[in-house]
């Protein structure tokens, strides 16, 4: 299993190489043994390999005595919510999130609807590697049932949020261009926008899994959406990744706001409604910190990875949290990144604000974030981080996750990726020039 990427996000691999039906079946069997049989929710994104892996997952789970509720092609947050509301023993989401088309993977969900943490995940890996699970006898094999209401129930939970005033959003009559990159969001987000009274122009909204572009919703991949927003004279452009846990926005001018702004806007909105603490990861923009400060709220930072943020939110009772890659976590619904929730919050915020998304964006503190990466190849990530630590020994350093150099109005964070064979370098400063310079300087130190 060495070709697999096993991390806090679950298991990922290239289909037919690291990730095969045999490997997936074994992980499903191990997960079934870990959750001690019972009911398991199975969801998947729209990837071409998803049906094959779903069959492998279901076979593995049934073989160790688990009953299955197959909720079909749906967002990751829908699967997490279903585990919690249907009181299942756990859930398996078949997705590789924003990774390219040839990838797939498994996200492991505990009975509380949260992803397994590193320790719990390690236990499943141990069971999988040692094959220490027992097969059920013929009369104890699990049963598989289909459950078709998970998406509908997720939408209803969003519409029932105390912050959502349906009449107010409908009054604005937003024109929205939506890009679901042919992912699982195509089965949910158009329906949600319809319920919110929006006029929707659909881009890549067939859940075929044949991604028409790089599926990560970062500005350089949203050219088609930006052009469509201008052409259609829309109020806003919305992009989600293949499993709809990340959300990116495009202004009415056809300019991408950058994923960091998604969480910042959501935090600004929630803190205007209630007071409380905010949890974000070590790489998230200072914009969120500044907003929290304006509202007299405290911010706690964690390691990168949804589970770290979610667990800390639960521990301190945070009112909102998330990650700067467009991942909004609203505990009122469930403790997981949820693009559909982010969409509803931001449309409500826009309806109350009365102006355009550009004008709303202009109310946020101004910083520029630069994201870069170093391909690992022969580079030892540990050695690279040690070099950085030595080179910047006289500065304020944070070791929450990798190494972060913290200055008055800027910072740079370097850490090995959880999902790809790269080292991520993320810098933020008041200007683009400063941010890019900081990023390049640290990147150079890491590879020299």
What is the C-alpha separation between 121 and 109, in angstroms, rounded? 10
Has 2 been annotated as catalytic?
Answer: no
| Strand 236-240 versus strand 247-250 pairing type | antiparallel
CB 256 within 8 A of CB 219: yes
In the set 9, 46, 49, 97, the catalytic residue is 97
Which one, of 257, 255, 254, 205, lies nearest residue 232 by Cα? 254
* Residue 149 backbone phi and psi in degrees, to 5: -100, 0
Tokens for 187?
Answer: 């089965």
Order of strands, edge to edge, in the sheet holding 299-302? 299-302, 278-281, 320-323, 327-329
Cα 233 to Cα 192, 302, 362: the distances in Å are: 21, 40, 20
- What residues are paired with 199 via a beta bridge? 175
**Active-site positions?**
97
């Amino acid at each position: 299993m060495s070709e697999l990427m096993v991390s806090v996000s679950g298991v990922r691999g290239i289909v037919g190489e690291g990730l095969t039906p045999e490997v997936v079946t074994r992980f499903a069997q191990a997960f079934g043994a870990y959750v001690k049989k019972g009911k398991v929710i199975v969801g998947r994104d729209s990837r071409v390999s998803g049906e094959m892996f779903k069959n492998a997952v279901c076979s593995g789970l049934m073989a160790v005595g688990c009953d299955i509720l197959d909720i079909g092609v749906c967002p990751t947050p829908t699967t997490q919510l279903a585990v919690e509301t249907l009181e299942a023993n756990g859930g398996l989401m078949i997705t590789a999130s924003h990774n390219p088309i040839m990838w797939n993977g498994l996200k492991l969900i505990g009975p509380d609807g949260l992803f397994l943490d590193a320790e719990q995940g390690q236990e499943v890996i141990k069971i999988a590697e040692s094959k220490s699970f027992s097969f059920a006898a013929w009369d104890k094999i699990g049963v598989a049932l289909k459950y078709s209401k998970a998406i509908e129930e997720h939408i209803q939970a969003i519409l029932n949020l105390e912050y959502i005033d349906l009449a107010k959003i409908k009054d604005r009559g937003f024109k929205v261009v939506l890009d679901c990159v042919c992912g699982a969001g195509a089965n949910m987000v158009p329906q949600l926008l319809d319920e919110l009274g929006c006029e929707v122009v659909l881009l890549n909204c067939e859940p075929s899994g044949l991604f028409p572009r790089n599926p990560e919703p970062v500005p350089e991949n949203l050219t088609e959406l930006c052009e469509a927003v201008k052409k259609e004279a829309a109020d806003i452009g919305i992009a989600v990744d293949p499993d709809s846990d990340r959300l990116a926005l495009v202004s009415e001018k056809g300019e991408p706001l950058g994923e960091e702004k998604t969480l910042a806007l959501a935090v600004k909105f929630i803190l205007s409604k209630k007071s409380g603490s905010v949890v974000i990861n070590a790489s998230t923009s200072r914009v969120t910190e500044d907003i929290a400060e304006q509202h007299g709220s405290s911010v706690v930072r964690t390691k990168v990875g949804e589970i770290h943020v979610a667990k800390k939110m639960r521990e301190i009772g945070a009112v909102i949290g998330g990650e700067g890659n467009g991942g909004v976590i609203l505990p009122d619904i469930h403790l997981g990144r949820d693009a559909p929730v982010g969409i509803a919050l931001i449309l409500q915020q826009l309806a109350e604000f009365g102006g355009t998304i550009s004008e709303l964006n202009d109310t946020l503190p101004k910083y520029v974030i630069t994201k870069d990466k170093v391909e690992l190849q022969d580079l030892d990530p540990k050695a690279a981080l040690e070099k950085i630590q030595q080179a910047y020994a006289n500065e304020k350093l944070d070791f929450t996750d990798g190494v972060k150099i913290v200055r008055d109005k800027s910072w740079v964070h370097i850490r090995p990726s959880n999902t790809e064979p790269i080292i991520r370098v993320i810098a933020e400063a008041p200007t683009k020039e400063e941010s890019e310079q900081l990023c390049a300087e640290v990147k150079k130190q890491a590879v020299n």
